[in-house]
Structure 1
Amino acid sequence: MSTFRLVGVLHLPPLPGAANYGGACVREMAKTAAADAKILEAAGFTDVMVQDASDNPQPSLVGAPTVAALAVVGAAVRAATSLGLGVIVGHNDGAASVAVAHAVGAQFVRVKVLTGVSAGPTGFIQGCSLQVAQMKRLLGSEVEVWADAHEATSASLLGDTPWAAAQAVAFGGANKLIVTRDSGVGDAIDDIARVKAELGAGIDVLVGGRVTAESLPAVLRGADGAILGSVLKTSGGSAPRIDAARADHLGSLYRDSLPR
C-alpha cells in the first residue's frame, strides 16, 4: 500500500517576469517560503510544493526571470526542510518545472496538461510530454512527473478522465496522477475510483484541489494523496501565508488516520 501524500502548496507572490510583478525582493520571498515550509513540516505534511500561482495573467510558458526566481525560492525551501519537494511553473511549463526541480533537488513536478489538448484562459494548451521527457534526458533527471488527468483551471477537449489518465501514463510517462473537480471532492473521488478500475491499483492518484478540513477524511479513504492550497492560507490576495493553526488541524486529521 502506498503512503498517503499530504502536499501543502506555497503560492508565491508575483515573480520577476510576471505582468503584475511589483518589484518584491526574491531573497525575501525565499525566506518567507522557507518559513512557511517549516510550518508544514511541523504540522506533519509529507510534501511541499512551490508555485508561481500569483503571476497574473499566468502564462502557459514562463521566461528566464521567473525560472531564476523559482530556483532561488526552491533552493531556500530545500535547505529549510526535509519534506518531499515539488515544483509547478506557469500554467503548463513542464520543461521549466523539471529544470527548476533538478537544480534545487526537488523530487517531483506537477504538470497540468502533460498529454492531449485543453482550453483555458490563455487559449488552447497542448500537452508537453515531449518537452518534459527531453529536459529530463538532457539533465539526467529522475524527478517524478505528477500529471493532472483532470484539473480545474482548463477543460480537456479529448476523452474522459480515465482515458486522459491512461494517456498521461502510457504516452506521457506520468508517475502519479491528479484529479480535481470544481463540482466537489466527492466527484473527484468517484473519478479516482474509475481511473483505478481502468488502470489498476499500481498508479497513485491524488486529489489536486478543493479539499477542506471537512472533506479530507473522505480523501484519506478514497485517494492516495491530497494537494492543499488556499485552505492553508491566512487570507487571499497575491501574497498569502500558511496559517499554522489551519496547517496543524489538517495535519492532525492526516496523523490520526495513520496506523497505530
Structure 2
Amino acid sequence: MGVFQRCKPLLGVVHLPPLPGSTGYKARRYPPRLGKVWSLEEIIEYAVSEASVYEDAGFDGVILENYGDTPYPKTPGPLQVSAMTRIVREVSSAVGIPVGVNMLRNGSVEALASAYSGGGSFIRVNSLCETRLSPEGILEPDAARLAKSLALLGILEERRIEILADVDVKHSQPLVETSIAQTVRDCIERSGVPIAGVVLTGHATGGAPDADEVVAAARTASEYEVKTVVGSGVSQLNLSKYWHIADGFIIGSSIKLGGKPWNPIDKEKARLIASLAERLRRITEGC
C-alpha cells in the first residue's frame, strides 16, 4: 500500500450522515438519538473536522463512508456520488494524510469516481470478487465494472488510486462455502484489478475477525505481494494481537464516543491507539 508513508498504517473511518440522494437526507436524525438533520454544508464541515482529529491523533489515512445512507442501494446514485466527490475534495484539501472512499453497499465505480475527481488516494470495495447474500439483496462481484473504469481512466498504468478489497465482507454470507485462502487467491488472480490489500472483518460493524482467518489470508496474499488489512473490530485492547499478522488496520467504532460508529471520535481513544501503534513500530523489524 504505497500511498501510506509508514508501515502498518492506521486508517480511521469517518461515518458520514445521510448524503443527498439518500432517503435520510434532510429527513432522518443522525445520530439516531439526540441527533440532528444535516445539510450538505454541515456534512462537509463535520467530515473535515473528524478527518482532522484522525490526523492530529497520528493516524495515517482516513476513509470517508456513506454510513448514514440506509437503506443502502447496491450501487449509490448520482446525487450521492456528486456529494461524496465534494466531500472528498474538501477533506483532501484540509488534511495531509491520504483520503479514501467506501460507497455502500457495493459501489466500486462510484467510489472510484469520487476519489478520482475529488483528489482521493484509495478506495475500499465490499464485494469485488464474491457473490454475497446481504440485507440489501444479492451482491454480485463488481470487478468487471471496476476494471473497465480503471482502464478508461488510465489508472491501471498510473496506479494513482489504490484498491482495498474486502473478502468475506461483514453483514453478508457466501452463497457457496469456501476457504478464506481460496477466496483471496481467486480474487487476486481473477479480478483483473490491481489489488493493493485484502480486508478481513468480523461478521458485523465493530466485530473483530478470526485471527486464524487473518493468518490464512495474509499467507496467501503475501504470495502475490498483496497486503492484508484488518477492517473491523480493532481496538487498543487487541491491536497487539493482530499487529504481527496484518499490514494495516481500519479503525472506527472502537474509538467513537460510546463505541457507536455514528458518534464523533473520542479524541483520547484515537490518540492512545495511535501511540500504541507507534510504540509497536519501534520494535517491529522493517518498520
- TM-score when normalising by structure 2: 0.84
Shift of 1:192: 2.1
Structure 2 CA distance for partners of 1:72 and 1:236, relative to 1, 3 Å: farther
Matched, 1:185 2:199: no
What CA deviation, in whole Å up to 9, does each residue of 1:147-186 have, x standing for no partner?
0112211112232211111122111222210011239636
Shift of 1:254: 0.8
246-255 or 229-238, larger mean C-alpha shift = 229-238
Tell me the residue number matched to 1:242. 265
Tell me the residue number matched to 2:245. 222
Contact persistence 2:48–2:91 (CA under 8 A): yes
Q: Percent identity?
A: 27
CA-based RMSD of the aligned residues comes to 2.0
C-alpha distance in 1 between matches for 2:273 and 2:219: 29
Shift of 1:232: 2.1
Tell me the residue number matched to 1:146. 164
Q: How many residues align?
A: 259
35-44 or 6-15, larger mean C-alpha shift = 35-44
Contact persistence 1:120–1:154 (CA under 8 A): yes
Out of 4, 11, 19, the position equivalent to 1:7 is: 11
What CA deviation, in whole Å up to 9, does each residue of 1:63-93 have, x standing for no partner?
1110111111111110111111110112101
Select the structure with the greater relative contact order (CA < 8 A; seq sep ≥ 6).
1
For residues 33-52 of structure 1, the aligned pairs below 5 Å read 33-52=47-66
15-24 or 40-49, larger mean C-alpha shift = 15-24
Out of 25, 37, 41, the position equivalent to 1:21 is: 25
- TM-score when normalising by structure 1: 0.93
Contact persistence 1:211–1:226 (CA under 8 A): yes
Matched, 1:100 2:123: no
Contact persistence 2:209–2:232 (CA under 8 A): no
Could you tell me which amino acid in structure 2 is paired with residue 12 of structure 1?
Answer: L
Instruction: Say which SS state the counterpart of residue 244 (structure 2) adopts.
Output: helix
Contact persistence 2:172–2:203 (CA under 8 A): no
Out of 191, 196, 218, the position equivalent to 2:218 is: 196
Contact persistence 1:169–1:175 (CA under 8 A): no
Tell me the residue number matched to 1:76. 90
Instruction: Say which SS state the counterpart of residue 258 (structure 1) adopts.
Output: helix
Structure 2 CA distance for partners of 1:203 and 1:53, relative to 1, 3 Å: same
Matched, 1:231 2:231: no
Structure 1 unaligned segments of length 5 or more: list them.
Answer: none
Structure 2 unaligned segments of length 5 or more: list them.
Answer: 28-37
Shift of 1:3: 1.3
Instruction: Say which SS state the counterpart of residue 76 (structure 2) adopts.
Output: coil
Shift of 1:208: 0.7
